[in-house]
Structure 1
C-alpha cells in the first residue's frame, strides 16, 4: 500500500510517499481502507520531533491519526461492525498512521460515518470534535447562561466547540481574523473579535470559560478575561497552576482519548443538522507536505483533509 512516511524528524520536505506493508490487526481491530484523512497540529509536531520526548516513535513513521473509510476486515472479537461499513475515527497515537491506504484501529475508537456527510467531512470530525467535547462538555460542563470565550474560532476545534457551546445555551465570544470572521459569524457566534485589529483582553470580560487552543501570549492574556472562579481549558499548552491561582481562577489541560461512543454522539449531531463540520483546504495524499506547510503557517480555515482513496473500490 501507499503511505506518507518520514524516516527522520524534521521539516515537511522529509515526508515521502512510500510503499509500506499492510498493517497487522488484532482480534479487537478493524482494518479500514482509508478514503480521507484529517490533518492535525499534532501531526506536524510529531513529524518535527517536538513530541519525541513524550511520544517517541520508531522510523519509518506513518503520520496521521483521524480518518474516514470503509471496513475491509474485522478481528474475531469485534461486534457492531460489518464488512463494507463506512466509518470514521481517530486512532490512538501509539498506532495512528492514517496518511495511508489502509489502517488498523481498535473498534472501540470507531463510529459509523455520518450518513449525510462526505468522507472528507467525516475525516474532519473525529479528533477536533472529540477534543471540543472533552473540553466543553466533560471538563467545563458548559450550560445555559454561561459566558464562553473561544480562541481560534475559525479552526477545526474552534468551529465545533462554538456550536456545542451554543447548543448548550451559552453566550459565545470567539476570536478570528480574515476569511475566518465570516465563517465564525455564520456559525452563530454572539460576539466576534478580530484579533488582528482588536485586543480581546480589552473586550471580553467576566467569562465563565475560556477555551485556549493557542497557548503562549494568548493564554497569558486570557487570565484577565475570566470571572473569579472561572475556568481556562487549554488544548495546546498546559497552563501553570500558580498562574491560575494568582488570577483567582481554575485551569485544566486536556488530552483527548479516542472514544467511539463520544464520536457517535457527534456524528448523530451532524446527521440531524445540529453540527456543521467545516472542511477547509483539501489535498491529495501525495501533497501532504504542502498541507503541513499551510497548517504550520496558521493559515488554515476549518480542517485540512487529505484525499487518499476512492469512496467505492
Structure 2
C-alpha cells in the first residue's frame, strides 16, 4: 500500500501493535457494507498503539515522538499496517504504565464500555448492572468500569472463566452453561448485551421498570439511523429490524437502545487516566505476530478468547 497521506488535522503514527476485534471479521465478510461501504482492497484493523512520526497542519495536541493509542473513525480504519494517518480528535496519549500491546487492546472495547455505561446509561453508585460475556474483550473492560462507577456487577461467563471475571470485580457470576440468567437475576438498572437475540429478549426480564437495555450486537434502532444520517430506506429497515424488541421493551417500561461506538480521543484520554490510576487493567488473551493475523482472527470468531487478542506489528 502507498504511504498514508496527511491531511490538515491528521497525525501520522508508526504502529507498534493492533488489537483484533470481531468487528474486523464482520467487515471482512461484508456484514456491515450497507453502513460501512468499504471498497476492496482495504486494510482492516480498529485498534492501535504506536509512536507519532509526523503531524499535519493545524495539529496542536501531539508532537513527533509521542506514544499514542486510538480507534480511528469509521471510514479511516486500517491499523493492521505499519503506518496510518489518524484524525487528531481520535487520538490520545497512551497510558504510561502499560506496554504497546496492552494499550492496543483498549480503544475499541474501552470506548464501547465508556459510551454504554457513562454516556448512555449514566451508571451511578449503587446501580445494578448486568454485563453479558464477561470474559470477552468488551466484558472484561466493562466489568472494571462499572465497578469503578460504584455499581454492583453481574456477568454471564463459563465456570472456567469465573475466577477471571471475579478478579475483575464481578459480584455475581452466572454460569450460562448451567444457569438461566433471567431466572437468577432481577431488579437490574442496566444490561449491556453483546450476545444474540435470545439473550437480548431474556435481558428484558431482569430489568426493573425504567431500566436500560443497551445492545452492541443489534438490532439497530431508529435513533441510530437518525444519528448516522442514513437514507429513508435504511432508516425504515432499522425501524423494522428493531420493532419487536422495542415493543417488548416498551411493554415492560424499559428503554432499549443500540450502541454503535464512535471514535473519541477525549474519552480515550479519560480511560488512560483510569488505567494509569490502576482502576482498570487491560486483559490480553495473547499477542501474535503479524503473520498469524488470519489464524488469530478465525480463533477470535469462535468466541474462546479471554480478553483481547493483539497483533504485534513492529
Whether TM-score is above 0.5 comes out as yes
Higher fraction of helix = 2
Q: Residue in 1 aligned with 2:272?
A: 267
- Tell me how far apart the structure 2 counterparts of residues 265 and 166 of structure 1 sit (CA, whole Å): 16
Residue ranges of structure 1 left out of the alignment (5+ in a row): 1-19
- Counterparts of 1:42-53 in structure 2 under 5 Å? 42-53=23-34
Q: Residue in 1 aligned with 2:283?
A: 278
Give 1:217 shift.
Answer: 1.3
Pairing partner for 1:236 from 202, 214, 217? 217
1:264-294 Cα offsets, whole Å, 9 max, x none, are 0001111111111111122111111111111
- Counterparts of 1:80-159 in structure 2 under 5 Å? 80-159=61-140
1:99-147 Cα offsets, whole Å, 9 max, x none, are 0011110011000011100000100111100110000011001001111
Give 1:85 shift.
Answer: 0.6
Q: Residue in 2 aligned with 1:251?
A: 256
Q: Residue in 2 aligned with 1:37?
A: 18
- Tell me how far apart the structure 2 counterparts of residues 21 and 156 of structure 1 sit (CA, whole Å): 32
- Check conservation: 1:215, 1:234, Cα contact below 8 A: no
- Check conservation: 1:31, 1:102, Cα contact below 8 A: yes
- Identify if the C-alpha distance between structure 1 residues 178 and 289 changes in structure 2 by more than 3 Å, giving closer, same or farther: farther
- Tell me how far apart the structure 2 counterparts of residues 74 and 32 of structure 1 sit (CA, whole Å): 9
| Residue 67 of structure 1 pairs with residue 72 of structure 2 | no
Q: Residue in 2 aligned with 1:17?
A: none
Q: Residue in 2 aligned with 1:198?
A: 179
- Tell me how far apart the structure 2 counterparts of residues 268 and 282 of structure 1 sit (CA, whole Å): 24
Q: Residue in 1 aligned with 2:58?
A: 77
- Check conservation: 1:235, 1:253, Cα contact below 8 A: yes
Q: State TM-score, norm by structure 2.
A: 0.90
- Tell me how far apart the structure 2 counterparts of residues 22 and 216 of structure 1 sit (CA, whole Å): 42
Give 1:243 shift.
Answer: 2.1
Structure 1 runs, 4 residues or longer, greater than 3 Å off: none
Look up the SS of the partner of 2:14 in the other structure.
strand
- Counterparts of 1:177-188 in structure 2 under 5 Å? 177-188=158-169
Give 1:23 shift.
Answer: 1.3
Give 1:178 shift.
Answer: 4.6
Give 1:255 shift.
Answer: 1.4
Q: CA RMSD in A?
A: 1.1
Q: Residue in 1 aligned with 2:2?
A: 21
- Tell me how far apart the structure 2 counterparts of residues 31 and 119 of structure 1 sit (CA, whole Å): 17
Q: State TM-score, norm by structure 1.
A: 0.90
- Check conservation: 1:31, 1:71, Cα contact below 8 A: yes
- Tell me how far apart the structure 2 counterparts of residues 178 and 126 of structure 1 sit (CA, whole Å): 28
- Tell me how far apart the structure 2 counterparts of residues 72 and 131 of structure 1 sit (CA, whole Å): 28
